[in-house]
Amino acid sequence: MNNKLEESNDDKSSSSAEHIQLLKKSPAHWEIALNRPEKYNAITQPMYEKIIEILDQAAQDKQLVLLTFTGRGKFYSAGTDLVDFAKMAVRL
């Protein structure tokens, strides 16, 4: 694997929330899709924050009934991004 390429992807991911897709399929149905297939949909800190924000909005929306979760690509989700996390942990 090319580490340099990975690092630049990591940096990009930590500053953007495009890895969480919110699809408003109808007023009653929203879908959250984890959209970081190149990293098996591993979840970074900004992605966690974005999901919290959507859950808050969804909870308060008067018309919403159903919130669905899925992953884009072949993976559902690799869980917490350990690269993101390990960098922080080693610094502790």
Partner 1 sequence: MLEKFIGKYIDFPKILISFVNGPAVGISVSTLALFDGVYASSNATFSLPFTRTAQSAEGCSSFLFPQLMGSLHAKELLLFDKKLTAQQAQQRGLVTQVIDDKQFESEKDKICQEILSLPKGSLLTSKALIQKWNKQQLHQVNLHETEVLKQRWLTEEFLQAMMDFMRNRKKK
Binding residues for partner 1, rule: CB under 8 A, are: 1, 3, 25-26, 28-29, 40-41, 43, 45, 48-49, 51-52, 55-56, 58-59, 64-71, 73-80, 82-83, 85-86, 89-90, 92
Task: Report, in Å, the least distance between residue 4 CB and partner 1.
Answer: 12
Least Cβ distance, residue 18 to partner 1 (angstroms): 19
- How far is 11 from 14, CA to CA, in rounded Å? 5
Q: Are 46 and 8 in contact (CB under 8 A)?
A: no
15 or 89: CB nearest partner 1: 89
Q: Phi and psi of 56, rounded to 5°?
A: -65, -45
- Could you tell me the two tokens for 74? 């072949």
| Cα(5)–Cα(15) distance, integer angstroms | 16
> Minimum distance between the CB of residue 14 and partner 1, rounded to whole angstroms?
14
